[in-house]
Structure 1
Amino acid sequence: CATCSSATTCTACEPGYFLTADTCTQCTSPCATCSSATTCTACEPGYFLTADTCTQCITNCKSCNSTKTCTTCEPGYTYDSANKICKKDAPPAKCTAGQGNCLKCSTDNTTCVKCNDGYFVNNGTCAQCIA
């Protein structure tokens, strides 16, 4: 109970519960909040509300407003609007000193920070000097 009028009589419930016969009953998943056992008012992440029920978003989608439109993908995924899917992000670039004219990599090994003579660092990679 969020509020009660006696030890056994609820008058309002915490979020995720609904009031029925002076007691609070938990909403069933995937309802985050509900007004009855069959009426959702908000959904858990990965679901959207339509006609008082929660419908699952596309795979790897954290929030959506329909089965075809993802508004936020799960971490590590990016929405591909052309194909209407959440695609797994590419792994971060790897830097290896001694390859591609790179002399020294960043501490996390994702970018080059020092290049061979005749090359300069350009957006984390080595580009040849033109002069």
Structure 2
Amino acid sequence: MRGERAQGTWTLEIIDSPSKPRNPEVLGNLKEWTLILYGTSQNPYQPYRTQHSRSRMLEIPTPEELLEEPELQEEEDEYNGPCHSECGDQGCDGPDADHCLNCVHFSSGSLRSGRTCVSHCPLGHYEDIVSRRCRRCYKGCYFADETQRQCLKCHDTCLRCLRYADRCSACSKGYSLAGMTCVPECTNGTFFHLEEMTCSPCHSSCRTCTGPGKEECIQCAEGYLQQEWRCVQTCSPGYYSGEAAGVPHKMCYRCEENCLRCSGPGTTCTKCKEGYSLFSRTCIVNASCSN
């Protein structure tokens, strides 16, 4: 309305209202839209016209033009070319499969992404013969193959699966994904043994692990420190113990080079390897002077 402040956020609302009957599943194509700002000294809009554009610019006639004889505007041509082979008897408004007004076989896609006529539905969908639509398989089901063309139930351990009932992409509660297999979530101190399909005990030094060996620990048991890939009760010579962020146990860190024992990072050496001498808490190579 005149007199309103134009400053602020404006919303353009577009309603698809076909001028003639068409398949309600097929959306219209927005070719062009116009915003006229009153008060400009010149027409701010230059229409972009293409060969098949069906839009018209809203023009405000001058008083002189209102007195003139009305001119018949020439209608732009509708699409009269051949339709895609998947288009049905209602025709099309373009040459491709997504221009069909109805389909011979099935309609794939959605109103948001756009629909296309196809002869067979894609993987993960089944063919709804009644509505001639490709419908997605429900959660917990999978599309078997090109011959069966139906959705089948995944294995009970699978939340979602691909092509086969036990080829999981997500697991049900209480299971975790190992490759494409859902295995039981084992308690601390145990791991899932894939060959035996049971939870087996970790090494005594491990709190959690990926296997039975002492070098397969993920976290160390109480009273152990992690050194490299093993859990140990004391750090080896050349290492010192220290805290680690996000880890419930201490870690063994390597001392400075040539240092046999240290109290922390940097120059904190207290004992050197053979052939080296301690100088200002740093190990330097032994040397003898000759005249």
TM value normalised by structure 1:
0.41
Rg (Cα) greater in structure: 2
Higher relative contact order (CA 8 A, sep 6+): 1
| Structure number with higher strand proportion | 1
TM value normalised by structure 2:
0.23
